[in-house]
Chains A and B, each alone.
Chain A
Amino acid sequence: MNLRRFTLISVPYFWLLCLFLVPFLIVLKISLSDVALSIPPYTPTLELSEGWAGVRDFLSQLDFENFRFLATDDLYWKSYLSSVQIALISTTICLLIGFPIAYGMANAPQEWQPTLMLLVILPFWTSFLIRVYSLIGILSQEGMLNQFLMWIGIINEPLTILNTNIAVYIGIVYTYLPFMILPIYATLIKLDGSLLEAAEDLGCSRTEAFWRITIPLSKAGIIAGCFLVFIPALGEFVIPSLLGGSDTLMIGKVLYEEFFANRDWPVAGAVAVILLLILIIPIVLYQRNEQKMMEADK
């Protein structure tokens, strides 16, 4: 019995160990190394043939120089800050758009709901990259959006949207909106309509019932949706590099450039480790929320 339990629990832990912890330790090790013109492009590498002395020698060469470097160059902390800002604003916009959509879906006639659900997840059927590229076509100077706005006469000259932060916001919100809608929809659909009637019966207006009953009871879905948008948006790299301008600072882009343009793996490793530490805070919060939800369901 205990062995069976142990086996069951060990499967996900083994999975995490192989696919998360080991790669993370490798990245951590790289971040503590020095850049070198070699393959792989860093030193030291562990020479097990030299035995215990080799290991000691290896450890003595590791240092926090790269982390110190990140602190000295303001590019990095500005990128982190701007990434957090872009992710926070995008999450807020997603919530403001996503909640009404989820609310509308949950209150739509029963026979419509599978269709609406399908429409929300339909974009996933096309490659993410292709969808971002097609946004370029829509947002560019000669793009469909500018043509449409000029055609209906709102503007006389094309707006510069592409290669600005606005394009990045549009891209992130467009891409991650379903991740906001689905968990909120899942909590709203479970909401018992008689609760709202009871609130009205006890003296609430419709609006008051919404704020006092619907919002608190969909809190779990709202939190889940916010994390599902915030976490990937923070490390987002494709959207800022394709839609953003040269002044769009996002840590995902910096990471990519360190890795592939500068071939400075140790600094890139340090950037990744710090990003992970920033992400761990919301992830831990998210997991605590999940746990609370599970306990509430029991």
Chain B
Amino acid sequence: MPQNVFEPWNDPAAKPLIRFQNVTKRFGDFTAVDDLSIDIYEREFFALLGPSGCGKTTMMRMLAGFETPTSGTIWLDGQDISPIPPNKRSVNMMFQSYALFPHLTVYDNIAFGLKRSNMPKDQIDARVKEMLRLVQIERFGSRKPEQISGGQRQRVALARALAKAPKLLLLDEPLSALDKKLRQDTQFELMDIQEKTGTTFVVVTHDQEEAMTVASRVAVMDQGKLKQVDTPGQIYEAPNSIYVADFIGEVNIIEGNATAQGNTVSIVWAEGQPDIIGTPSKPISNGKVSFAIRPEKIAITADKPADRHNAVQGRVLDIAYLGNVSTYHVELPGGMIIKAQAANSRRRDSRPFTWDDEVWLSWTDTAGIVLDR
């Protein structure tokens, strides 16, 4: 029985809810968004991920209507939204600072948008109560924003933005003000609420973990351009560039010269070291390549593994103990440092390796990513 997977981006018949068509936004000499095109589908949880200044916030502000594109068109539900002011768009935003109105109670904050519409009074009351229930803050309706905690404020902001049942909800760094533990819990809650309401969410974040957890698709941005738009799994396991590989998680990058050998390539990368055998996802031409491999895909052993072709010897330089895993920084004879990660499935005092130990690092032929340079 085929599983019904939510992948509208792979369905050529699906109509996007939002379409950026060659959108450029300049502020003076600075190009914040550079000739960018992207489709976002209904019910998606879409994450715009990138370092600060990459243009992700500008994209969000253009969707909300606070900025207009210098050139290009943004379509929402088949309609060009450039001439529509923010107060007339069926788009709501949850601000990074939450922007709760300090002079209004939690209840009135949530009701604020509804009162601006022509919804009858009793329906407003029902809707606000429904929202309070959705984000589990029924008890705090009569409080002022200053009288509740940061986590509760975040919920009020979410409820307020969702109250008008927008076609599209924008979330600007929604969880950045929360501490780590609360952030993780809230991530799942956010996904839950997104599923319940069926609203399309576009979230802007610089936190790759957050983007990976919540999003159905992640767009990695850099300097106003999209580097890669894909599911979190694909972004992590099959990045299309060194930038993406490096931005998401940890990675070792080894540079060398590749020669194709059937489905695999053989990479010459250092004198006196055996070639690396890698499996590129698409055929690549011979010549300079980058070989990217995640630390957790590298096994660390005391003896040379017999069944793996890719194996190098080195000396443990540093150990970063993170509790669940340890990252070993291993120096190869040429001076290169490779990071390898091992799960700490045993208690700490039985840790197999320590500083200055000679170890073997090895990985399978398909563990790494071969990237054209």
**Residues in A lying within 8 Å of B, measured CB to CB:** 192, 194-195, 197-205, 208, 213, 216-217, 296
Contacts and interface: CB of A to CB of B under 8 A. Distances in A.
A285 to B, nearest CB: 19
A217 B161 CA distance: 21
Interface in B112-156: 112-113, 116-117, 146
A205 B87 contact: yes
B95 A202 contact: no
21 contacts: A192-B97, A197-B86, A197-B93, A197-B95, A198-B93, A198-B95, A200-B65, A200-B66, A200-B86, A201-B64, A201-B91, A201-B92, A201-B161, A202-B92, A202-B113, A203-B88, A203-B164, A204-B87, A204-B116, A208-B116, A216-B103
B101 A195 contact: yes
A203 B103 contact: no
B178 interface: no
A217 B97 CA distance: 17
A217 B145 CA distance: 14
Interface in B67-96: 85-88, 91-93, 95-96
A180 B91 CA distance: 39
A201 B97 contact: no
Contacts of B100: 198
A208 B112 CA distance: 12
A204 B160 CA distance: 14
A210 B64 CA distance: 19
Contacts of B99: 192, 194-195, 197-198
Given A194-B99, A195-B101, A217-B102, A201 B87 contact: yes
Given A195-B101, A217-B103, A201 B93 contact: yes
Contacts of B164: 202-203
Nearest to A209: B87
Contact of A201 (B86, B103, B146): B86
Contacts of A197: 64, 66, 86, 93, 95, 99
Contact of A199 (B65, B112, B117, B146): B112
Contacts of B117: 203
Task: Kindly name the residue among B91, B96, B102 whose own CB sees the greatest number of chain A CB atoms within 10 A.
Answer: B102
B56 to A, nearest CB: 17
B240 to A, nearest CB: 35
A205 B88 CA distance: 9
A201 B117 CA distance: 12
Given A198-B99, A201-B87, A202-B112, 19 more contacts: A194-B95, A194-B97, A197-B64, A197-B86, A197-B93, A197-B95, A197-B99, A198-B93, A198-B101, A199-B112, A200-B65, A200-B85, A201-B64, A201-B91, A203-B87, A204-B116, A213-B101, A217-B103, A296-B146
Contacts of A202: 87, 92, 112-113, 116, 160, 164
Interface in B147-182: 160-161, 164
Contacts of B93: 197-198, 201
Contacts of A200: 65-66, 85-87
Contacts of A296: 102, 146
A200 B64 CA distance: 10
B359 to A, nearest CB: 52
Contacts of A204: 87, 116
A179 B261 CA distance: 83
Contacts of B95: 194, 197-198
A195 B104 CA distance: 12
A200 B93 CA distance: 10
Interface string B276-299: 000000000000000000000000
A278 to B, nearest CB: 31
A204 B115 CA distance: 10
Nearest to B96: A194
A208 B117 CA distance: 13
A216 B109 CA distance: 14
Contacts of A198: 93, 95, 99-101
A216 B103 CA distance: 7
A190 to B, nearest CB: 10
B291 to A, nearest CB: 45
Contacts of A217: 102-103
B97 A203 contact: no
A262 B85 CA distance: 68
Contacts of B113: 201-203
A205 B116 CA distance: 10
A268 B248 CA distance: 82
Contacts of B64: 197, 201
B154 to A, nearest CB: 14
A202 B119 CA distance: 14
Nearest to B116: A203
B293 to A, nearest CB: 43
Contacts of B92: 201-202
Nearest 6 CB-CB pairings of A with B: A203-B116, A202-B113, A198-B99, A194-B99, A200-B86, A216-B103
A197 B164 CA distance: 16
A213 B87 CA distance: 15
A90 B64 CA distance: 43
A205 B84 CA distance: 12
B308 to A, nearest CB: 54
A195 B103 CA distance: 11
B305 to A, nearest CB: 56
Interface string B235-269: 00000000000000000000000000000000000
